[in-house]
Amino acid sequence: MSQQFLIEQCNEKVGNKNLAPVLSELLGINPDAAYRRMRCSTELGFSEIQKICHHFNISFDSVINYKGRLVPFQFNGMFQDEFNIIGYLSNIEQELKMLAGLEDDNVRITMTAMDLPYFRQFGFKSLSRFKLFFWQRSVLNLDDFSTRKFDANESLGEYEEITDRIYQSYHGVPSKEIWAPETLDSTIKQIQYYLESGLFVDKSSAYQVCDDIEALLTKLEGEAQSGRKRVIVDQDLISSSFEMYQSDVFLSNNCIQAVKNGRTYTYVSFNSFNSLMSYNPNFSEECNLWIEQIRSKSILLSEVSEKLRYQFFKSLRTKLDLLRESV
């Protein structure tokens, strides 16, 4: 079972390519021997497993302890020399693009939104620019940003291209999302911090970020009403089903579960915008049970509950109005 699971992970890594030639070259064996290892009729040796794990960036522990209590995670070290925020965003883009392209009725994203999901905020220029600037200046403390102030009219180049693609792909993946009255709070506090620290070049930049949050809420409310996410890209409509819930139970973290090919991938947020990822079935099931417990105590805002939906968005807009007054 461990070898079969390892081969399954390798197949996912190569995508549409044939794994056999890759293994044949990697292990220095003929194609027939590679197929026997893929069928598990020939056991992989330790050195072969080591080469495969290094080549495909697979945790050996995740193979031998697939259903155990020890749970291996994948993550990007933000404070390592090799960390690159473009590379980090590229990984997100690739995963969402792959999910959006799968013709499978079971593909979906389920998330708890303690903070404003970046899938959403990336579709609004000033808000997206602010978040990217905040991460690089105030979280990563990059030298290039240490003396800069935020200007909503300053383009961030390739960052904007990739975040636009993330935003578009998100709309192609069916999702169930649990929001809370506190979901906007961290973003509002970040804006307030920049205001109090004099880190906006002018008030106009702060107002533009507020306007984008208002536009985001308007779009989100309309999609909750219709039960579908929608975005138009090059005159083509990208759309998928959308279930939105309101939880009055405090959400302790952002948790995202992506289901594809019968396997659940669980992402748990940490260190502001980074995440730990695991496809350990026991861990994913535990997180799924927690999400379902929260969802069972939440109010469905999609398509129904018109009064409660109006009240929920009114409470968010009230917070935004108070922020505008402080500007």
pLDDT digit string, tens, across residues 61-120: 766 666 656 677 777 766 666 667 888 888 888 888 888 877 777 889 999 988 888 889
Say if CB 95 and CB 276 are below 8 A apart: no
The CA dihedral of 106, 258, 52, 83, to the nearest 10 degrees, is 150
Q: How far is CA 206 from CA 150, 159, 226, in A?
A: 9, 20, 31
Domains and CATH numbers, the chain: 2-64 (1.10.260), 85-326 (no CATH)
pLDDT given at position 277: 84
Task: Show the DSSP H helices in 153-201 as ranges.
Answer: 158-170, 185-196
Q: Which of 166, 31, 27 is nearest to 95 (CA)?
A: 166
Collapsed DSSP state (helix, strand, coil) of residue 139: helix
Please state, in angstroms and rounded to a whole number, the distance separating the CA atoms of residues 278 and 299. 29
CA angle 273, 267, 77 (to 5 degrees): 50
Lowest mean pLDDT among 39-48, 74-83, 307-316: 74-83
CA 234 to chain centroid = 24
Mean local confidence (pLDDT), 21-42: 92
* Structure token pair of residue 77: 């070290």
In sequence order, the β-bridge partners of residue 182 are none
pLDDT given at position 305: 87
Please state, in angstroms and rounded to a whole number, the distance separating the CA atoms of residues 260 and 242. 17
Collapsed DSSP state (helix, strand, coil) of residue 4: helix
**How does 227-236 read in b/e, with b if 16+ C-beta sit within 10 Å?**
ebbebeeeee
Q: Checking DSSP bridges between strand 236-246 and strand 299-300, what pairing results, if any?
A: antiparallel
Please state, in angstroms and rounded to a whole number, the distance separating the CA atoms of residues 188 and 82. 31
- Beta carbons within 10 angstroms of residue 132's beta carbon: 21
The CA dihedral of 84, 89, 95, 100, to the nearest 10 degrees, is -160
The string of DSSP letters for 234-252 reads: TTEEEEEEEEEEE--S---
pLDDT given at position 81: 62
pLDDT given at position 269: 81
Say if CB 199 and CB 134 are below 8 A apart: no
pLDDT given at position 62: 66
Write the CB contacts of 319 (distance below 8 Å, at least 6 apart in sequence): 184, 185, 188
pLDDT digit string, tens, across residues 76-93: 766 666 667 888 888 888
Please state, in angstroms and rounded to a whole number, the distance separating the CA atoms of residues 295 and 107. 19
Residue 23 pLDDT level (bands cut at 50, 70, 90): very high
Residue 192 pLDDT level (bands cut at 50, 70, 90): very high
Please state, in angstroms and rounded to a whole number, the distance separating the CA atoms of residues 140 and 80. 10
What is the pLDDT of the chain when averaged over all its residues? 88
pLDDT digit string, tens, across residues 225-262: 999 999 998 888 999 999 999 998 877 778 899 988 77
Q: What is the pTM of this model?
A: 0.80
